[in-house]
Amino acid sequence: MISETRSGTPRDIVVLGVDGLGFELARECWPGAATTEMRSVFPTTSAASWLSSLTGRSVAEHRVPGVVFALDEQPRRLVNVFKYQGTGLLDPHGTVFTDAIAAGYQARSIPSDLEPLSCTWREELLRGSRRVSGYRFYPCPDGRYQPQSPAEIRNGIRAAIAVARDDRPAGRPCFVWCFVEVDRHVHEKGYDAHVHQVLAGLDKIARDLADDGVVVVAHADHGLVPTRHSPGLSKTLETLRTRIPFQMGGAGRIRWLYTEPGTAPRLRRALRESLPGPVRVARAEEMFPLEVRSRVGEVLLIATGEEFLTETGYRYDHGSATEAECRVPFSVWDAGSSSAAVNSADWEGMT
Ligand SMILES: [Zn+2]
């Protein structure tokens, strides 16, 4: 965007925010794009990663570590970030959209499958953008995921982007961010043929837009890895909780336990002695910067293998620190330049 504004004739920029896509698969499915590797944040949760991507802030700065965590209140209260509506979540901040407006762009977002959420997190994430609503690609009526065909998803994304680009005064460049929640499919089905076809569809959309003079970027928040629910781990935690009380936060492959004063060392010891399966027990200070520690529990459980806690019906999950979760793509389709007009360093420099 910065390079574009310096060019004197800034082109439209379309950004595909692909939830749940690892680096290797992006490179395989998008051979025509210039793909560089970025690192996700820790933990590899959507809530933390998307905020970092769109605000340019680290987890230490935005202080949203995941899904369920404590706000800065006494007595301690746990909130679900995808439901919480209220103050105290994060400090005022800019976004890629406010930067785009400052650079002379019309800023549009296509929230798609974020639309059903009604929460402060989403408002902060999309701050400054005009929403283009009414498009769903990974619908979950009644909480159950109902896959659309890859062709329906491709056509829906193409239509939404066209509407977003049309909605502007003549002669003004447009910045569009479109959320594509591949994650929802991968949780239940893995990286199957459907995902490959959807990614091929995104590549086609991106190439067509690039041919039309648009700079297209795709980036992701995290990859997912095979994960099975462990009834043994669940039962062990329930039994321990009766002896050493705790509350549990986090989500996916990382959970944190809020203990009563003075009991954290005893709980960690008991967990190490009794946990089945490949689970790392850690202290919060080993994994989180000081700024975030009051929001997470004192004791961390981090999946290191396939057995952990996960939702019913899930076969893949994320949140921990495996390479497949941490390595994510930053891909650019830019037909108008032999040297990429946008790169990941440029992206990081936007905010
Ligand atoms: Zn995600």
Burial track 115-149 (b if 16+ CB lie within 10 A, e otherwise): beeebbbbebbbbbbeebeebbbbbeeeeeeebbe
pLDDT of residue 337: 57
243 C-alpha to ligand 1 centroid (Å): 35
21 C-alpha to ligand 1 centroid (Å): 8
pLDDT of residue 167: 85
51 C-alpha to ligand 1 centroid (Å): 11
Report which residue type is found at 215: V
pLDDT of residue 110: 98
70 C-alpha to ligand 1 centroid (Å): 21
CB 229 within 8 A of CB 312: yes
For residues 206 and 216, give the distance between their C-alpha atoms in angstroms, rounded to a whole number: 6
pLDDT of residue 338: 45
pLDDT of residue 277: 76
6 C-alpha to ligand 1 centroid (Å): 33
State pTM to two decimals.
0.93
DSSP of 245-260: -EEEEEETTEEEEEEP
290 C-alpha to ligand 1 centroid (Å): 24
Total Cβ atoms within 10 A of residue 311 = 12
CB 60 within 8 A of CB 51: no
338 C-alpha to ligand 1 centroid (Å): 32
pLDDT of residue 233: 95
223 C-alpha to ligand 1 centroid (Å): 8
238 C-alpha to ligand 1 centroid (Å): 28
- Counting as low any pLDDT under 70, the low residues of the chain are 1-3, 336-351
For residues 174 and 269, give the distance between their C-alpha atoms in angstroms, rounded to a whole number: 55
CB 15 within 8 A of CB 50: no
pLDDT of residue 343: 52
The answer to whether the Cα torsion of 147, 148, 149, 155 is positive or negative is negative
pLDDT of residue 170: 87
pLDDT of residue 143: 84
pLDDT of residue 30: 97
176 C-alpha to ligand 1 centroid (Å): 19
pLDDT of residue 344: 53
pLDDT of residue 232: 93
Burial track 278-297 (b if 16+ CB lie within 10 A, e otherwise): ebbbbebeebbeeebbebbb
